[in-house]
């Protein structure tokens, strides 16, 4: 599933091609996404895209009458192509622009979405989200206070979108390893000092992934729309059974919340 850095890089990639461009047509080739695509999305026709924003893993194409909300689901990607380029299999939705470009949402599993948000409203999918991880609102003090009396494992706690958005499985694994925190430790038993160490690590890990992903932007319009999990050396994620890069002990994999969790039993307490 695309994580926050991948979605942010997608936002950065499509923005130069569609910002301030007028939508001339919307083609819904398959309306049966995670939720049915509403007819409201046609309201963007003949309007310019005034901003391309991201909230958690949702992308918002803002126009005068409201916003298109896009989510890539588990397998989706966005491509900017010439409008006369043949459709690919699973190209379900496309926005045609006056500059001759088309923005296409390709989603083999159809777990993504294309929805509408009216001006001044906050869609129910966005209304209960926590702070963005790279903002000043995401602080150790805030997370520490939220964690009191919580028995849920710390890994699941920091992946809770009500606590902070966008800390997906890969980056939760990596951040907890760097902070030396065992992923199964109860969130309520993690001291303030350890949160003061963890939160900057989460911010740095996500920011580094976004920066590394930005190197793919030159050819975004010609790419397959899949920036991928960037050319970074992952310390624990996907390395079950390999040696810890710090202490050389064999890394352990368990399941937490049905997600793969890899950690070092010596480095993480």
CATH (domain of 9): 3.20.190.10
User: Is 46 in the same domain as 106?
Assistant: yes
Q: Identify the residue whose tokens are 């958690």.
A: 56
Residue 90 assigned as binding residue: yes
User: Is 105 in the same domain as 37?
Assistant: yes
User: Is 145 in the same domain as 105?
Assistant: no
Q: Where is the domain boundary, 117, 152, 184?
A: 117
Mean pLDDT of 254-264: 95
Domain residues for 45? 4-117
Strands (E), 32-110: 51-55, 58-63, 66-71, 77-82, 91-97, 101-106
Active site residues: 2-3, 57, 259
**Each residue of 22-54: pLDDT tens digit?**
999 999 999 999 999 999 999 999 999 999 999
**Each residue of 86-109: pLDDT tens digit?**
999 999 999 999 999 999 999 999
Rounded CA gap, 152 and 69, in Å? 31
User: Is 144 in the same domain as 108?
Assistant: no
Residue 185 assigned as binding residue: no
User: Is 21 in the same domain as 79?
Assistant: yes
Total domains in the fold of the chain: 2
Residue 189 assigned as binding residue: no
pLDDT tops 60 at residue 257? yes
User: Is 184 in the same domain as 238?
Assistant: yes
**Is 127 within a domain?**
no
């Amino acid at each position: 599933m695309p994580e926050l850095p991948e979605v942010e890089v997608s936002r950065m990639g499509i923005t130069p091609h569609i910002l301030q461009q007028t939508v001339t047509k919307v083609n819904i080739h398959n309306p049966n996404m995670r939720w049915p695509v509403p007819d409201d999305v046609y309201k963007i026709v003949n309007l310019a895209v005034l901003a391309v924003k991201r909230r958690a893993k949702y992308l918002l194409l803002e126009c005068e009458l409201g916003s298109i909300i896009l989510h890539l689901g588990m397998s989706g990607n966005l491509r900017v192509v010439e409008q006369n380029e043949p459709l690919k299999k699973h190209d379900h939705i496309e926005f045609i622009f006056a500059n001759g470009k088309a923005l296409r949402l390709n989603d083999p599993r159809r777990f993504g979405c294309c929805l509408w948000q009216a001006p001044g409203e906050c869609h129910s999918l966005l209304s209960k989200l926590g702070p963005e991880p790279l903002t000043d609102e995401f602080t150790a003090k805030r997370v520490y206070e939220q964690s009191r009396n919580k028995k849920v494992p710390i890994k699941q706690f920091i992946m809770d979108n009500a606590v902070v958005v966008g800390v997906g499985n890969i980056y939760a694994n990596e951040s907890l390893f760097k902070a030396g925190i065992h992923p199964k430790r109860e969130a309520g038993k993690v001291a303030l000092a350890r949160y003061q160490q963890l939160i900057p690590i989460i911010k740095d890990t996500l920011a580094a992934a976004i920066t590394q992903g930005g190197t793919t932007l030159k050819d975004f319009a010609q790419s397959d729309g899949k920036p991928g999990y960037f050319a970074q050396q992952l310390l624990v994620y996907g390395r079950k059974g390999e040696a810890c890069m710090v202490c050389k002990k064999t890394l352990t994999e368990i399941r937490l919340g049905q997600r793969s969790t890899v950690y070092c039993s010596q480095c993480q307490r």
